[in-house]
A and B are shown apart, each in its own frame.
Chain A
Amino acid sequence: MKLLLTGNEAAAEAAIQAGCRYYYGYPITPQNELINYMSVRMPEVGGTFIQAESEIAAINMVYGSAAAGARTMTSSSSPGISLKQEGMSYLAGSELPCVIVNIQRGGPGLGDISASQADYFQAVKGGGHGDYHTIVLAPSSAQEMANLVYDAFDLADKYRNPVLILGDAQIGQLMEPVEFNKKPKKNLPVKNWALTGAEGRERRIIKSFYPVKGQLEEFNAHLQRKYKLIEEHEVRYEAINIHEADIVLVAYGTSARICKEVVKKSLRFNFKVGMIRPITLWPFPKEITRKLSESVQCILTVEMSAGQMVEDVRLAVEGRCPVHFYGRTGGGVPTSSEIIRKIVEILPDNSEVNTLLQLVEAK
């Protein structure tokens, strides 16, 4: 059955469906529908809902419930996610599975409450202190929000690692039809590390402190091996019209929806626009990006930021083709005509300019 839900509500319900029974949050626009939904649903399913005194407390409650072996989640928006970074570093350092949702808003500082993708660096490069990664998933619709939140719990358990859902105000607020049809995953590892009380067994310790010289380096090596495994197995992206494309757009989330419109418009003309939509931002779809750089005239990255993901695109391309950037900041959402005008501007071969300008007018 389909339900008309906001992305925020879809995230909350998907968590419930995935067996999350411990939610800790703190109100912040534009993710309030998520915490509100949880306050109603958690008691219905016999779960725990706490409105914490702060984002810091919320992420640490998540840490506790994860250490105790439960599926657990928190959510917030950009300024609140900044506060959670300490906890996220500890979660990664203690290898605790959990899901964190960031419905990004404009920054820096208090910024505003409109959609933004300016937390990309924070999300994929660590955010907190130390050499660590969270798995980062980027939905571009309410339905995909539901699917990815569900998958996030499996990924978290599979790798004993925090998973971050990187949405934005538009994905969070937008209402779309959503279906919950995911099936529980089998063969997830048993949580033989969880704290339950050491009845009849050796005691367990959840920690990230390694004071004996050499131990921490060994632990970091273990983390890096795990991250490599994730990079090898968990990359996800959507590729549209990339074969024979003259130019490829790279965009995620809300920006990707707009880019998809450009791709669709271009189908009516000779000039071929393809697109890559990373679904995992970490691990980033490096391989496909590198491959494309050998066949296209150039790549255009579109973001609602001053240019963050474009750095990962360039790292993947390694100079094989020009990588351009178009971005809006401070609540601005790119339009399809803006993107087409940008394509006209950057195109090495301008024989198609007139065709493209027709695209701007195309409805």
Chain B
Amino acid sequence: MTEKIILAGFGGQGMMLLGKLLAQAAMVDGKYVTFFPSYGTEVRGGTAVYHLIISTEEIFSPLIEEADILIVMNQPSYQKYKDMLKHDGLLIMNSSMIKPDDSPVPEAKTYKVPATEIASKLGNVLVSNIVILGAYLAIKRLFSTNQILNQLNAVLKGKKSDLFTINKQALESGIEAINHSKTC
């Protein structure tokens, strides 16, 4: 099993954390994992892209040439990275901020999750990344909800521990969004 995931959004949408939670869950699960973050001059507000590879075998290049899964959080990320998705790949998008109709990816299995909207309703727009993470979990079932919650707990320990509840709600809302929706 090898899963090549590209995560993209604007800096501040929490793609780093999303990827790190998955990477850590994979690590704890005994899998090979590489997580290659974008770095450098454009951080806040610019497009941030992350390459995550999870595998049962040794991983060579951490750079993804063709993604199995593309998770995008905003319009520019979608436009910029949709061509990196393999033709029958899986596309998970934050439909609150993306209008895919302009240039659809024809054969990709697409899931639209209004993550920003859901997060706002929960009371904190910053957890939209965790909503998307929930959606991914519901689709791929690579990790259990508990495996991810354990990682969230580790990340949020200390000063941020009061944020655990809303993150848990976000994760559950993302899972629910998929379970109640149909594939497009």
Given known contacts A2-B27, A335-B65, is B36 in contact with A174 (CB within 8 Å)?
yes
B20, A175: Cβ atoms under 8 Å? yes
Interface CB pairs A-B, < 8 A, 27: A4-B23, A4-B24, A4-B27, A4-B35, A6-B37, A29-B39, A29-B40, A113-B41, A173-B36, A173-B37, A173-B39, A174-B35, A174-B36, A175-B20, A175-B23, A175-B35, A176-B35, A177-B27, A257-B60, A257-B61, A257-B62, A258-B61, A260-B58, A260-B60, A261-B60, A261-B61, A335-B61
Residue of A nearest to B86 (CB): A363
Contacts of B28 in A (CB 8 A): 2
Cβ of A30 within 8 Å of any chain B Cβ, yes or no, is yes
B60, A333: Cβ atoms under 8 Å? no
Cβ of A134 within 8 Å of any chain B Cβ, yes or no, is no
Q: Which of A2, A113, A170 contacts B36 (CB 8 A)?
A: A170
Contact flags A250-275 to B (C-beta < 8 A → 1, else 0): 00000001101100100000000000
A336, B60: Cβ atoms under 8 Å? yes
Number of interface residues of B (CB under 8 A): 19
A174, B39: Cβ atoms under 8 Å? no
New A-B contacts (7) at CB < 8 Å, excluding given A170-B63, A335-B65, A336-B61: A2-B28, A4-B20, A29-B41, A30-B40, A174-B34, A175-B23, A333-B63
Q: How far is the CB of B132 from chain A (nearest CB, A)?
A: 20
Complex Cα gap A26–B7 (Å): 31
Residue of B nearest to A2 (CB): B27
B60, A175: Cβ atoms under 8 Å? no
Q: How far is the CB of A26 from chain B (nearest CB, A)?
A: 17
A175, B61: Cβ atoms under 8 Å? no
* In the complex, chain A residues 219-273 whose Cβ is within 8 Å of any chain B Cβ: 257-258, 260-261, 264
Contacts of B40 in A (CB 8 A): 29-30, 113
Cβ of B15 within 8 Å of any chain A Cβ, yes or no, is no
Q: How far is the CB of B21 from chain A (nearest CB, A)?
A: 10
Contacts of A175 in B (CB 8 A): 20, 23, 34-37
Residue of B nearest to A105 (CB): B40
Contacts of B61 in A (CB 8 A): 257-258, 261, 333, 335-336
Contacts of A4 in B (CB 8 A): 20, 23-24, 27, 33, 35
Complex Cα gap A173–B49 (Å): 13
Contacts of B23 in A (CB 8 A): 4, 175
Contacts of A176 in B (CB 8 A): 33-35
Q: How far is the CB of B73 from chain A (nearest CB, A)?
A: 20
Residue of B nearest to A33 (CB): B39
Q: How far is the CB of A215 from chain B (nearest CB, A)?
A: 48
Complex Cα gap A333–B60 (Å): 13
Complex Cα gap A174–B40 (Å): 14
Contacts of B35 in A (CB 8 A): 4, 174-176
Q: How far is the CB of A32 from chain B (nearest CB, A)?
A: 8
A170, B62: Cβ atoms under 8 Å? yes
B39, A177: Cβ atoms under 8 Å? no
* In the complex, chain B residues 14-67 whose Cβ is within 8 Å of any chain A Cβ: 20, 23-24, 27-28, 33-37, 39-41, 58, 60-63, 65
Contact flags A5-48 to B (C-beta < 8 A → 1, else 0): 01000000000000000000000011000000000000000000
Q: Name the 5 nearest CB pairs between A and B, nearest first.
A: A261-B60, A175-B35, A177-B27, A257-B60, A113-B40
Contacts of A336 in B (CB 8 A): 60-61
Contacts of B65 in A (CB 8 A): 335
Q: How far is the CB of A153 from chain B (nearest CB, A)?
A: 27
B33, A30: Cβ atoms under 8 Å? no
Contacts of A261 in B (CB 8 A): 60-61
Q: How far is the CB of B28 from chain A (nearest CB, A)?
A: 8
Complex Cα gap A260–B34 (Å): 16
Complex Cα gap A257–B58 (Å): 10
A264, B36: Cβ atoms under 8 Å? no
Complex Cα gap A224–B69 (Å): 55
Residue of A113, A170, A173, A175 ringed by the most chain B CB atoms within 10 A: A175
Given known contacts A4-B24, A29-B40, A335-B65, is B33 in contact with A258 (CB within 8 Å)?
no
Contact flags A156-185 to B (C-beta < 8 A → 1, else 0): 000000000000011001111100000000
Q: How far is the CB of B38 from chain A (nearest CB, A)?
A: 9
Residue of B nearest to A140 (CB): B60
Complex Cα gap A335–B61 (Å): 8
Residue of B nearest to A6 (CB): B37
Complex Cα gap A309–B33 (Å): 29
